[in-house]
Structure 1
Amino acid sequence: MPDLGLKVKQLKKRKDEFKEALREAKQKRMARTDYEGIGITRMFNKIGSGDRTIEEEFYVLKEYRKPSTFVRDFYWYDEQGNRVTNAVPKDREQSEILILHGPYKRYANGTLTDEGFYYLGAKDGRWEKYDQNFMLLDKSRWHRGFPADARIAYYDSSHTKIKEVIPVEYGKIRGTYMAFHENGRLAEEGKFENGVKIGRWTEYHPNTTRQFRRKLTQYARDQWEEGFEPYVISEWDEKGKMTYERPKEKTVVEEADDN
């Protein structure tokens, strides 16, 4: 007959070895000193208390590097506000801010809710969101600030000057579209819903100092709104002076006849 006691000991030994391997792997991850060859520093942040505690574990650049001018939102750690944010830095030099770079994890009351990576402040790699039972709610893939499946066109063969970013999700054009002038400034921005333009689209002049809008166009609220004719709301010149404004529709107010 097989020695059950020996089998139990062997299983326990394997379990202990597995736990030790996981612990060592975790320590190696925690000891990370760079991401994509760029030096990083590990940081923690805690907000709230009790069952409303939010904790974040993330990394920031050891030495400042300028985020890509083509990425609209970049994330950084606001030491004064004690938060990770993508708000435009105010009252401080951009070179002084702590830009996120590397792994990111967010915990709500001790439970992991979000995890992913940043590259020079832009979302990168695989991002996942979980509920309180650690069930996967959403996942997405990014490449340095843009959806991984996005179609990106360039002005140059070395792929340093982006011409346009066409958002693609599950094979369909969906999300925020962006076009750029050759000098790197934003040229046009708007949203697609299954290949259909929706909402307000904005075009910009290629000014290098202060950038002004060129045209604001209204499209249907969603892809299902039939018979909607897009129209121009406003237009501006290169100095920001309005040159056209669509007349507001007149409304006729009829007074009630009490007689």
Structure 2
Amino acid sequence: MRLLGSPFPLLLGLLLLAGACSRKTVSFNSKPEPTGLAVATDTLSTTRDTTQAPSLVAKRVSLTKEQERAAKEKEKAAQRKPKKKKNIFLGEQIKKGYVKSGGKGKNQRIETFYYLRTFQQPNPYAPARYVYDPKKRRILKANGEIDGNQFRVLHGPYKKMEGGKVVETGYYAIGTKHLRWETFTRDNILLNKQHFEMGFPRDANVTYYDAGQKQVKEVIPFVNGKLEGDYVRYNENGQLEWDGQFENGKRVGSWNRYWGFRNARNRLRYEYQYGETGYDPEVTEPLLVKEYNRNGVLIYEKDKLDKRGEPDTARPGLKK
């Protein structure tokens, strides 16, 4: 009789028990055995990330009640404060200005206008160019090339009020009158309405020296078939010869004749004076007010001086 069976099953069980109880050593530097599948790499972290990573738990900053109240008020104020809008007219950034004159009450005159933030030279052929002089606080009609350091070129809506009543409205574009201009009485009765295109009256008769219509010869202003507005004439060199103003079909105010030199732009020669308004009897023979020699020196002024018969000893361009 056999007491024990085959020793092989018993030996196999002992070996498995010994293997389960033995210590297993794992190396973190060991590389896995290559397999048929590609091993994905973690591109979002490195060893340094895992050892020096910042804490993901936000630390609470302790504030006093006054600091919390101030922070809330600042946030509310920022929400209430409207965003500052940039004034833009015809694609150009502009800045608002105004001037006062004529005293107070019914005699007070207020002009509200806009001018270019970035200086641009107006069209030299435009019949009239307008600027704002910050030092004198006046709107001026420019003569010749404009100094960008001294003047501001008007650009945008314009409004003039007298005694609190609107008496004139219009628009400027790069220093020239543009679109519709209207004048009123203090009782809001329309006196005059004109339309301009970058300084030129819409109904003006404009002639040119060249076929390409780039060199202006003469601008004769018309409104409803009647002479009205600024008149200019240039010579073939592009220099100004005459400028003046029509009103109600008549020459009014100051009319100027220039020397027309190529190297001396808009050098004045004669200044004539016509009637004050176009509704007075027409002045057929204008009054000579001033005369300058070819060097720009004043040689005649009505009732003040007359050096027209004397030789010119002054330096060119010197004015007295």
**Fold shared per TM-score above 0.5:** yes
Q: Deviations over 1:69-92 (max 9, x none)?
A: 123532222222222222659xx9
Report SS of the residue matched to 1:160: coil
1:120-199 matched pairs, under 5 angstroms: 120-173=174-227, 176-189=230-243
Looking at secondary structure, tell me which structure has more strand per residue. 1
Which residue in 2 is equivalent to 1:46?
Answer: 100
Q: Do the aligned partners of residues 156 and 95 (structure 1) sit closer, same or farther apart at CA in structure 2, a change above 3 Å counting?
A: farther
Distance 1:156 1:36, change over 3 A: farther
Give the SS at the match of 2:168.
strand
1:133 deviates by: 1.9
Tell me, yes or no, if structure 1 residue 81 matches structure 2 residue 136: yes
TM-score by length of 2: 0.50
Gaps of 5+ in 1: 1-30, 230-234, 243-259
Which of 202, 208, 215 is equivalent to 2:263?
208
SS in 2 for 1:51: helix
Q: CA shift at 1:164, angstroms?
A: 1.6
Equivalent residue number for residue 115 of structure 2: 60
Whether the 8 Å contact between 1:188 and 1:204 is mirrored in structure 2 is no
Out of 151, 157, 178, which is 1:97 matched to?
Answer: 151
Amino acid at match of 1:209: A
Residue 33, structure 1, aligned to residue 103, structure 2: no
Matching residue of 1:109: 163
Cα distance in structure 2, aligned partners of 1:149 and 1:206: 30
Give the distance between the partners of 1:79 and 1:183, measured in 2 at CA: 33
Return the index of the structure with the highest Cα Rg.
Answer: 2
Aligned to 2:154, the other structure's residue is in SS state strand
In structure 1, distance between residues paired with 2:151 and 2:226: 37
Find the aligned partners of 1:82 and 1:105 in 2 and give their Cα distance.
Answer: 16
Give aligned-pair identity as a percent. 33
Partner amino acid for 2:241? A
Shift in CA distance, 184/133, structure 1 to aligned 2, threshold 3 Å:
same
The alignment yields a C-alpha RMSD, in angstroms, of: 4.6
> Greater shift after overlay, 120-129 or 170-179?
170-179
The letter of the residue matching 2:98 is F
CA distance in 1, matches of 2:233, 2:121: 21
Please, which runs of 5 or more residues in structure 2 have no aligned partner? 1-84, 286-290, 300-320
Amino acid across the alignment from 1:180? Y
Q: Which structure exhibits the higher relative contact order, with contacts defined as CA atoms closer than 8 Å and separated by 6 or more residues?
A: 1
CA contact (8 A) 2:181 2:195 kept: yes
> What is the total number of aligned residue pairs between the two structures?
211
Deviation at 1:149, TM superposition (A): 0.7
Answer yes or no: is the 8 Å Cα contact 2:183–2:191 preserved in 1. Answer: yes
Give the deviation of 1:146 after TM superposition: 2.5
